[in-house]
Amino acid sequence: MTASSQRLALILIAPAAILISVVLFYPILHGVWMSLYDIPLLGPPPKFVGLSNFATLVMREDFQHAFRVTLGYTAGTVAAAFGIGFLVAILLNAAIFARPIARKLLLLPWAIPEVVAVLVFAWMLDFQFGVLNYLLSLTGYFPPKIGWLLSPDLAPYAVIAVTAWKDYPLASVMILAGLQGIPLELYEAARVDGATSFQEFRHITMPGLRPISAVVFLLLTLYSFKRVALIYIMTGGGPSRSTETLSVLTYLEGFKFFRMGSAAAIGVAMLAVTLVFTLFYYRFTMATAETAP
C-alpha cells in the first residue's frame, strides 16, 4: 500500500474512530475518573480519594450480597435462555408445518420492548389479580394467591423466568444460524454408516455448534450481568434485596443515595468482570480455531 493510499484510509476511518471514541471510550474513562473521587450531588466539589471507593465496596455487605445475587441471576438466566433457545432452534430447523409463521411467533419476544414486556408480566404475576395465580388455582393443587414478586424465595425465580423469556430469541436465532451452517453431507454420510439420530446429534450437531454456543453464552452473560431496567421495574431490587443485582445497586447508589463516586466504582468493577468473561471467550475461540481441522 502506497503512502497516499494509507493517508486516504486514515481519512476515511477517522470519522468512525472519532465517533467510537466519543460514544464508547470517553464514558468509560470518565467513569474510571469518577470512581477515584468522592462526588456529592450537591455541595463541595469532588474530592480525590484514590482507591478508597473500591476498598470500601469490598468490605460492604450490600455489595457482597449484590455480587452473589448477580452470579445466581446470571447463571439461571443464561442456562434457561440457552436451553429454551436451543430447543426452539432445533424445532425451527425441522421441517414442521407453517415453519415461517412459527419462526415469527417464537421470535416475537425479541421484538417487544422490554419495559412493555415487564409491565405485562408484572400484572400476570400480581399477588391479588394475576392471571397466573388464577390459572394455577383452577388445578386445585395451588393456593389462590401466591406472592411471586412479594416473596424473597420466589421473586428471583420470577425475574429469571421473565429475563429468559426475553432473551431466548437471541439464542434461538444464533443457534439456528449455526445449525443451518452445518453441511448436510455430514448427516447423509452418517446415515449411510448406520448412525442413529442421537449419534448424529452427539458427533455432528454438538461439535458444529460449539463455536456459536460460546458466542451465545458470552452475549447472554453480558446482557444478564448489566441488566437493570427489567429487574428494577419488576421488583425494585426487593423484596428484602433478594433481586438486588450489581446493576440495581449501581442505580440506587447513584440516583437514590447520590453517591456518584461509589456508583462509578461499582460500574468499573462490573466492567472488569465482563472483561474477564470476554478474555475467557477469546482464549476459548483461539483454542478452538487451533484445534479445528
pLDDT at 287: 67
pLDDT of residue 168: 92
- With contact defined as beta carbons under 8 Å apart, do 29 and 21 qualify? no
Average pLDDT, stretch 121-135?
89
C-beta of residue 148 within 8 angstroms of C-beta of residue 154: yes
| CATH class as words, domain 53-291 | mainly alpha
Residue ranges per domain, the chain? 53-291
Average pLDDT in the 105-116 region?
A: 84
pTM summary value? 0.86
Which pLDDT belongs to residue 49? 87
pLDDT of residue 28: 87
Q: Is 242 helix (H, G, I), strand (E, B) or coil?
A: coil
Judged against a pLDDT cut of 90, whether residue 255 lies above it is answered with: no
pLDDT tens profile 217-253: 888 988 888 888 899 999 988 898 999 999 999 999 8
Per-residue pLDDT at 1: 57
Average pLDDT, whole number, for the chain? 86
pLDDT in tens, 141-159: 888 788 899 999 999 999 9
β-partners of residue 47 are: 38
Residue-wise burial string across 254-284, b where 16 or more C-beta atoms lie within 10 A, e elsewhere: beeeebbbbbbbbbbbbeebeeeeeeebeeb
**pLDDT tens-digit map of 159-170:** 999 999 999 999
pLDDT tens for 26-46 read: 888 888 899 999 887 776 788
What percentage of the chain exceeds 90 in pLDDT? 25
Is residue 290 predicted with pLDDT exceeding 60? no
pLDDT tens across 75-84, in order? Answer: 999 999 999 9
pLDDT in tens, 44-64: 788 888 888 888 888 989 999
